[in-house]
Amino acid sequence: MAKKEYSGINIQWPISELILTGKKTIETRTYPIPNHYLNKEMILIETPGKKGNFKSRMRGIILFTDCFEYENKSAFYKDSKKHCVTPNSEWAWIDKPKWGWKVEIKKLFPKPLPLQKRAGIKFSRGIFL
């Protein structure tokens, strides 16, 4: 069977777990998702961040279906149940724009898969499955 090429996105653990369990349905960033990644299947690359004790790995295939800018801090926190960011989180609202990326899980891998190459800073290209 031919391998398919994917792009990947780095998401720190434990935030990655919230997405993979369906609790977090909006990923938040301080920038909009680049248009070429919208509605494109991507590999969720789970990175250890400050709390994980593992090497970056592939956990599943996800899709970002929408991207929008939060109007203000109040609107951002109204969506807390969807993005799981609270005022005391390290990803809390600061005086910068905040963007929401609606995320959909397409496939969970039965177990984490090792990366074939080093992950990019935010996004990776040329991942084959």
Of 26, 16, 19, the closest CA to residue 100 belongs to 26
Q: Tell me the pLDDT tens digit for each residue of 31-68.
A: 999 999 999 999 999 999 888 899 999 999 999 999 99
Domains detected in the chain: 5-128 (2.30.130.30)
pTM tops 0.85: yes
Q: Tell me the pLDDT tens digit for each residue of 70-109.
A: 999 999 999 999 999 999 999 999 989 999 999 999 999 9
